[in-house]
Amino acid sequence: MTFGDYIRERREALKVADRRYSVRQVAQRIGVEPAYLSKIERNEVAPPSEAKIRALAEELGEDADVLLAMAGKVSSDLQEIIRKRPKLFAELIRELKSMPDHAILRIAREVRDGEW
Amino acid sequence: MIELLHDQLTFRFPEVHEKAFCHIEFQRTLRIPDDNQPYPLPPGLGQFPLSHVDDYADRLPASWRKHGGVFIPMYQSEALWINFSGDYHSGYPFAIKVAAGKINAVSGQPWSNELDPDSQDYVVIPGQPWLDGFNVTEDYIRQFIAMPLGEGFTAEEQITGEGEYGGLQIIVYPMKYEEYIERFEKPALDSPPLEEDLLLMDMPAFCRKSEGPPVEMGLAPGGLMRQKIVEDEFGLDVWDQENGLRCFIHLANSEQYRAITGHRPPHTPPSAKQYTDAGLPWFDYYDDQPALAGSVALGKLTSLAAMTIQKGKSLLGDNQPVEPKIIKQVRRGKTVRDGDF
């Protein structure tokens, strides 16, 4: 499923229960022309900027990182993290590629130390 | 990094050595009678369930979110002991500081991240397989007992006059890489690591071998128990204080634990009398390592039962003296402080 298809499907699903999710109103709320959002949904233009994708994610109750990935983008904060240690993160991500979710979660679930 | 898996904290230091990791868990146990008679070691009755603070952040007080770490459910006047274990093969040594309400459980001093250079304020594993309470005098501790903050029973309140933190605090330091290599991995060692030490590190979790906020709980000193704090045989300089990992363990009132997590806390443990009458074993741990002296500050603490009387409250329940009939000897590397009940 393309980025455009997914956005359209999610928006239409929300519109069934709430008419505020029309193309026109959603476009207004995220600050783009309705015609532009319509073209995005029909895959006639490339996905919008990171800022607009984040606004769409917020609007539709979706995960911004997932929408960015569907749009072929990596969020700017992740890019910044990778740029600082490109070799380490490239190796790490390649190694994690085939690991099951539970194994990755285990790596990610570090107990956080706070301020005390 | 610190991982939480199967109700056990794993402190891992891959930047120091691949074998530098140890496990810490919190064991449920019965409360020994608080009658100034020394008791042997009570059993382990299973691990306390551990949860990430971050998983329930919206239901916990701001102070818990700030402290981070994990939380466990405890009933009022329930006891716990801390089990330390590590890698069976490597026996990698660690210095571990333990505090309750940010009062050091070995020295009685206020919390600091660093190891005290003048007086040992930490335990060393694998020599110290567990810690059951406050180091009140040489060879004896007073059992860790959960009590609500604000009533003056906890060690923190008795020493500082305030119940600000509660909970348990732990920081773990691995042995320095070069010290470990020198002592344990150098070929043809004159004295290889003791097999017994290594066995001791492999103890299973469940037994002892050889705002609308939740009510914050702290640890009070309970009954007297024979347990030594083993002297550091390596010396302060071997510990890698550049690479410490610390964790705040919050104690959630059991009733409110259910409201926070939706899970039932474990059942209340049996009383010392019920356990003893059922003919179940207590334990005595023997080794010939020198013991640390008790802490003067901790030695002055008033025990839970004594303070209950001082405060004119009704007597502490389930506090009848018992005479343990079966006492199993636990030696370094030998079995058994088994906690089935």
Shortest CA distance to B235 belongs to which of B105, B111, B117, B112?
A: B117
Residue B125 to residue B21: CA distance in whole angstroms: 11
CB B285 within 8 A of CB B210: yes
Residue A42 lies in a domain: yes
Residue A15 lies in a domain: yes
Shortest CA distance to B121 belongs to which of B87, B142, B95?
A: B95
Q: Name the packing angle between helices A34-41 and A23-30 (round to 10°).
A: 110
Give B 231-250 residues with CB within 8 A of chain A.
Answer: 245-248
- DSSP conformation class of B120: -
Are both A48 and A13 inside the same structural domain? yes
Give B 48-107 residues with CB within 8 A of chain A.
Answer: 52-54, 65-70, 102
**pLDDT by 10s per residue, chain B, length 341:** 899 988 999 999 988 998 999 999 999 999 999 999 999 999 999 999 999 998 998 889 899 999 999 999 999 999 999 999 987 677 899 999 999 999 999 999 999 999 999 999 999 999 999 999 999 999 999 999 999 999 999 999 999 999 999 999 999 999 999 999 999 887 654 444 444 444 444 433 344 544 444 468 999 999 999 999 999 999 999 999 999 999 999 999 988 899 999 999 999 999 999 999 998 999 988 888 899 999 999 999 999 999 999 988 777 888 999 999 899 888 766 444 555 54
Are both A91 and A40 inside the same structural domain? no
Taking the Cβ of residue A112 and every Cβ of chain B, the question of whether any pair is shorter than 8 Å is answered with: yes
Residues 6+ apart with CB under 8 A from B264: B258
| Residue that is written with structure tokens 């895959």 in the block | A43
Are both A42 and A80 inside the same structural domain? no
- State residue A108's pLDDT score: 61
Are both A61 and A80 inside the same structural domain? no
Are both A13 and A45 inside the same structural domain? yes
- What H or E segment, with its residue span, contains residue A23? helix A23-30
Number of cross-chain residue pairs from A and B with Cβ atoms under 8 Å apart: 45
CB B2 within 8 A of CB B242: no
Q: B245: distance to nearest CA of chain A, Å?
A: 8
Residue A32's CB: how many other CB atoms inside 10 A? 19
The answer to whether the CB atoms of B66 and A115 lie below 8 A apart is yes
Q: B294: distance to nearest CA of chain A, Å?
A: 26
Residue A12 lies in a domain: yes
Are both A12 and A31 inside the same structural domain? yes
Domain span holding position A82: 76-108
Residue A114 lies in a domain: no
Are both A62 and A98 inside the same structural domain? no
Q: B160: distance to nearest CA of chain A, Å?
A: 16
| Cα B109 from chain centroid (whole Å) | 17
Cα pseudo-dihedral B222, B223, B226, B232, rounded to 10: 10
Q: What is the CATH number of the domain that holds A58?
A: 1.10.260.40
Residue A21 lies in a domain: yes
Are both A82 and A102 inside the same structural domain? yes
Are both A31 and A8 inside the same structural domain? yes
Give chain A's domain count. 2
CB B50 within 8 A of CB B251: no
Residue A31 lies in a domain: yes
Taking the Cβ of residue A108 and every Cβ of chain B, the question of whether any pair is shorter than 8 Å is answered with: no
Are both A86 and A45 inside the same structural domain? no
Shortest CA distance to B92 belongs to which of B3, B186, B170, B18?
A: B18
**pLDDT by 10s per residue, chain A, length 116:** 899 999 999 999 999 999 999 999 999 999 999 999 999 999 999 999 999 999 999 999 999 999 999 999 998 888 888 888 888 888 888 888 888 777 776 666 678 888 99
Are both A15 and A57 inside the same structural domain? yes
CB A66 within 8 A of CB A7: no
- State residue B212's pLDDT score: 46
Are both A20 and A52 inside the same structural domain? yes
